[in-house]
Amino acid sequence: MKALVAVVDDDEAVRDALGTILVLEGYSVRSYASGGAFMRAAGQRRQADCIVLDLHLADGSGADVLEALDTAATPVLVISAAEWSPEAPAAIYTGLCEFLKKPFDADTILERVKAALRNEPRPGCHQKQLPDHPQK
């Protein structure tokens, strides 16, 4: 069975691009335009093997979605156009998920999804991309 990747982003162009890249690489993809739509579907369908989640969604914060998820069981790649945000959830800073700053290239997202599905350590964004800011 193909690994299922959920893409949660309110930008249709980002959802379409990520979906295309992932499908071409052989993944099954479900795309959601809002955190609410993803959370409603999460209880009704097969759980995603990996989640690509925008931090800033039109219907609220991706941080709210992230905090509701069991990130120890499902790898989450948080994406955002902002380099740092006071809304960034504590899970990012403790290394339970990966942070990717937009824009990123296809090779980068594919590499991180593959690593997440192999259960490789997921470094927190504070270890790679973010400037020094206090942890929440």
Report the Cα 72 to chain-centroid distance in Å.
13
Look at residue 90 in the predicted model and tell me its pLDDT.
Answer: 60
- Whether 28 maps to a domain, the answer reads yes
Give the burial class of 86: count Cβ atoms within 10 A of its Cβ; 0-12 exposed, 13-18 middle, 19 or more buried.
Answer: exposed
Q: What is the value of pTM for the model shown?
A: 0.80
**CA proximity to 99, closest of 118, 131, 76:** 76
Q: Count up the domains in the chain and report the number.
A: 1
The one-letter code for the residue type at 72 is A
Q: What is the CATH number of the domain that holds 73?
A: 3.40.50.2300
- Whether 132 maps to a domain, the answer reads no
- Whether 50 maps to a domain, the answer reads yes
The one-letter code for the residue type at 69 is L
CA atoms within 13 A on the CB side of 45: 14
- Whether 136 maps to a domain, the answer reads no
Look at residue 61 in the predicted model and tell me its pLDDT.
Answer: 74
How would you classify the pairing of strands 50-54 and 98-101? unpaired
- Whether 112 maps to a domain, the answer reads yes
- Whether 31 maps to a domain, the answer reads yes
List the chain pLDDT tens, one digit each, 136 residues.
799 999 999 999 999 999 999 999 999 999 999 999 998 887 777 789 999 999 888 887 787 887 777 666 788 888 888 766 665 556 565 555 778 888 899 999 999 999 988 876 544 433 333 333 333 3
Name the residue range of residue 101's domain: 4-127
- Whether 94 maps to a domain, the answer reads yes
Q: What pLDDT digit, counting tens, does each position of 86-98 carry?
A: 655 565 655 557 7
Look at residue 127 in the predicted model and tell me its pLDDT.
Answer: 34
- Whether 71 maps to a domain, the answer reads yes
